[in-house]
Structure 1
Amino acid sequence: MTASRFSNSARYWRSPLVPGAEMLTAEYYDHSFTPHWHDAYTVPVIEAGAEQYDYRGSNFVAEAGSVPVINPGEVHTGARAVDFGWRYRVFYLPVEFVQSVADEVAGRAQPMPWFSADVIRDADLAQRVQIAHRALEAGADPLGAEHALLDAVSTLLARHAGQRLPAQRMRLDTARVNAMKARLTDDLTAPLSLAELAQTVGLSTFHAARLFTRETGLAPHAWRNQMRVTRALEALRAGVPVTEVAAASGFTDQSHFTRHFKKTFGVPPGRWR
């Protein structure tokens, strides 16, 4: 028997129990996420089907019952791994929140938690994450929902968190990449050519683009668009019209903004808000 395919439907939502966090309840059939990152810990649980994604130079497949955690700031993609797509629930948890739970679990200040690239296959953890997500979404029992969330996050940390390995990069490369990032974000609405960006660090356009892409996982223009989308979130939350947000973020028009936003978040900006 062939499973019926999923639709492309998604709902972002928030809970006052986790300030700064966002949650996603979604299923996708043929949507593909462009390379992007989140400032938060991405903690999904796959409920049905399977998702494939590129992450840290490898391709992974997360099937039903798995928890494919993505660390803050790390570039990744997302697409179906089976013909009928996938259904999942996702927590986007602020770094400060996860850090505070880690400190509580250990009883003392801890280094920033970090997770390996491997898909976490832990049925008990998956169930705890799913229970917490459903409880927060229902909103009927705040006390129980908050307990379920702390239970899920503390279990994730206790069983699977490690420490981030120090980056093995030349200081000169890091300095140049940081300089290019600063130039790219100095004014997100101003036109900027690759030649102008390369001049910032005294490299040819070819070497500047190659260095930046190697260090960040995104080409300069893609990284800049990701920053535009990320910075637009605050204005969207505040209720600023999408057309105004698009212009203030440096996109040529609303359709340009919507296209990039949907590739990152899976829904148009109006629906996300």
Structure 2
Amino acid sequence: MNAPLFRDRARYWRSPLLPGADMVTAEYRDHTFAPHWHDAYAVPVIEAGAEAYTYRGERQVAETGTVPVINPGEIHTGSRAIETGWRYRVTYVPVDFIQSLANELAGRTQPMPWFPVQAIRDPDLARRVLLAHRLLEAEDDPLAAETALVDALSTLIARHAQQQPESVRLAADSPRIATMKARLATDLTEPISLTALAQEVGLSTFHAARLFTRETGLAPHAWRNQLRLQRALAPLRAGVPVTEVAAASGFTDQSHFTRHFRRMFGVPPGRWQAS
């Protein structure tokens, strides 16, 4: 008998037991996630099927029972790896929560935890992460849910955290990248030309675009749209109408905002807000 095909559907939700975190319970088959990043650690567990994703320039596959962690700020994609698609649960854990837990485990201040590029194949860890997510979603027993959450994340850190790899960059690149990022982020509603951006750092348009894309993994306009989407989450969560959020975020219209939002989060902004 052929395995049933998954549908494209997702539920985003939050728990008071992990302030500032977003959680998602989802399944996908036809949806493809555009290159994007998260401000938090993405800690998924694949419940069924398999997901393919590009991460740090390599194609990865996360099959059932794996934990494909994505580190904060890292560009990645997502799509089905097999015909049926995949079903997973994800917790977007704030950086300060993981950092604090790592410090407590070691008994002293630790470097920012960094997790492997490849999907983590640790059945016991997957079971712990899955249990924590299910208990948080059920909301039946806060004590059991919070205990399972700390157990799952501390196990992840203790077994699989490693030191963040050094980025290979020219000495003059970092200040220029910082300057361009600051210019792009100052006013998200302001139109900015590549010429104006390049002039900020004393480069030609060609070299400015090439440098920015090489260092961040995204072209300047794509990076700016990702920032717009990240900053749109707070007003959406506060109940601000989607049309107002789209305009305040610098998108030309609601359909433009909705198209980009769905490519990153897998659902339209209205549905994300409602959930």
Range of TM-score over shorter length: over 0.9
- Quote the residue 1:192 is aligned against: 192
> Match of 2:91, SS?
strand
What residue identity is the alignment partner of 2:65?
G
What residue identity is the alignment partner of 2:248?
A
Deviations for 1:197-244, whole angstroms, at most 9, x for unmatched residues? Answer: 111111111111111010000011100000000011111111111000
Identity over aligned pairs, percent: 71
The runs of 4+ residues in structure 1 deviating greater than 2 Å are: 165-168
TM-score, normalization: structure 1?
0.98
> Match of 1:140, SS?
coil
Q: 2:266, 2:168 → 1: CA distance?
A: 33
What residue identity is the alignment partner of 1:58?
E
- Quote the residue 2:38 is aligned against: 38
Deviations for 1:68-113, whole angstroms, at most 9, x for unmatched residues? Answer: 0000000000000001100000010000111111111112221111
1:106-145 equivalence runs, <5 A: 106-145=106-145
Q: Indicate whether 1:11 and 2:7 are aligned.
A: no
What residue identity is the alignment partner of 1:94?
P
RMSD of aligned Cα (Å): 0.8
Q: Indicate whether 1:233 and 2:228 are aligned.
A: no
> Match of 1:65, SS?
coil
What residue identity is the alignment partner of 1:217?
G
- Quote the residue 1:171 is aligned against: 171
Q: 1:129, 1:161 → 2: CA distance?
A: 15
1:165 Cα deviation after fit: 2.5
Q: 2:81, 2:118 → 1: CA distance?
A: 16
- Quote the residue 1:203 is aligned against: 203
The answer for unaligned runs of 5 or more in structure 2 is none
- Quote the residue 2:25 is aligned against: 25
> Match of 2:3, SS?
coil
Q: 2:39, 2:84 → 1: CA distance?
A: 30
What residue identity is the alignment partner of 2:109?
A
Pairs aligned (count): 273
- Quote the residue 1:92 is aligned against: 92
What residue identity is the alignment partner of 2:108?
R
What residue identity is the alignment partner of 1:138?
A
Q: 2:9, 2:159 → 1: CA distance?
A: 32
Q: 1:171, 1:254 → 2: CA distance?
A: 41
Q: 2:149, 2:125 → 1: CA distance?
A: 11
> Match of 1:162, SS?
coil
> Match of 2:172, SS?
helix
1:215-234 equivalence runs, <5 A: 215-234=215-234
Q: 2:266, 2:51 → 1: CA distance?
A: 14
Q: 1:190, 1:168 → 2: CA distance?
A: 32
What residue identity is the alignment partner of 2:19?
P
Q: 2:206, 2:108 → 1: CA distance?
A: 47
> Match of 2:236, SS?
helix
1:118 Cα deviation after fit: 1.4
Q: 1:229, 1:66 → 2: CA distance?
A: 28
Q: 1:244, 1:65 → 2: CA distance?
A: 41
1:171 Cα deviation after fit: 2.4
Deviations for 1:143-172, whole angstroms, at most 9, x for unmatched residues? Answer: 000000000000000000011123331221
- Quote the residue 2:55 is aligned against: 55
Q: 1:245, 1:120 → 2: CA distance?
A: 37
> Match of 1:19, SS?
coil
Q: Indicate whether 1:73 and 2:73 are aligned.
A: yes
1:6 Cα deviation after fit: 0.3
> Match of 1:38, SS?
coil
- Quote the residue 1:264 is aligned against: 264
What residue identity is the alignment partner of 1:151?
D
What residue identity is the alignment partner of 1:78?
G
What residue identity is the alignment partner of 1:218?
L
